[in-house]
Amino acid sequence: MPFINSKVSVTLSKEQEQTLVSRLGQVISLLPGKSEGWLMTGFEPECHLYFRGDNSTPTAFIEVKVFGSENKNAFSALTSEISKIFHEVLNIPTDHIYIKYEAVSHWGWNGSNL
């Protein structure tokens, strides 16, 4: 039950969005027990993001929420891949990408809680 939501300061074409969905679906399996079959993604393009007080460089803030417990090693591997993906697809420098992880113990789906 992972959810990856991104706020990016750039315009996002449908092709880029589909590429992100596909590539994020491939790398989510770096988290034990997670798969593309349960992945939800969200995109918020053209956000007014400032990094170091400046907004002249493309920037991204990405949130990864997972049902279950934290896994520092898996989160680290996923950070590397997500940064690479957003750099390659949207040309956002990896030093202008923040990724926040949150392990969630209560998750609702299909009318009930897991």
Q: What is the pLDDT of residues 45-79, one digit of tens each?
A: 999 999 999 999 999 999 999 998 889 999 999 99
Query: How confident is the model over 73-107, as pLDDT tens digits?
Result: 999 999 999 999 999 999 999 999 999 999 999 99
The whole-number average pLDDT for the span 8-34 is 97
- Residue 98's pLDDT is 98
The helix/strand/coil state of 7 is strand
The predicted pLDDT at position 114 comes to 86
Q: Locate tokens 């994020």: which residue? A: 24
Residue 90 to residue 65: CA distance in whole angstroms: 22
Task: For 66, list phi and psi in degrees, rounded to 5.
Answer: -135, 145
